[in-house]
Amino acid sequence: MTDLRETVLWAANRLCQDRLVVGTWGNVSAREENCFWITPSGMPYESLTVSDLVCLDLESGESRGRWKPSSEWRLHAAFYRHRPDIMAIVHTHSIFATAFAVARKTIPAAVEDLAQAVGGSVEVAPYALPGTEELAKNAVQALGKKNAVLLANHGLVAVAGAMEEALKICLLVEKTAKIVLLANSLGSVSLLSQEDIDKMRHFYLWSYGPEKGGEEEA
């Protein structure tokens, strides 16, 4: 069985490979029962090893490891406490998604794959200083039951039940942000109806993929 820390390390390296971050910004974590593993503060992803990751207790906030945890550990802890279904979190500063965060504009669910994976438009959480409890509270409220949220003037957070899914959501949001900007330059964005979004989300959760069996569940 793959060590959960290896999964966090894999995702952290993908952030650089997929150009979702620059330098040491952004962070990744994965949940394990009542604690979670998170990338350390201010260390280059390319040089990280599993021994560099930090374990934090979800209830006490106490950390275990040789380095300080990411400054956004409160944000990760808040998501895990609020949503038991969340097992992995990826926070990026990708260009197009962050452009929407800076403009403080929602990324609409105008593309089918985003609607399916996120569950609707990607909302913007009100601004708060990075690393604060206020930022964590704002982000949790703006996320709701969806799987992605923008942090005003900051970046994107994607959550999921598995690390691969959280990373995929980051890529889908970035792609959609770029598509929406291009569509606006051509005229306007045609939005999907909430009814269609809900149907596609249901299909994605219960029927999409070989492990789902191809039949919708009631």
> Which residues are designated catalytic?
72
CB atoms within 10 A of CB 48: 19
Closest CA to 106 of 177, 186, 37, 35: 177
**Whole-number Å distance between alpha carbons of 156 and 172:** 12
**Whole-number Å distance between alpha carbons of 109 and 135:** 24
Strand locations in the chain, DSSP E?
Answer: 27-32, 35-38, 54-57, 63-64, 88-92, 124-125, 148-151, 155-160
Closest CA to 61 of 34, 82, 30, 29: 34
- The pairing of strands 155-160 and 88-92 is antiparallel
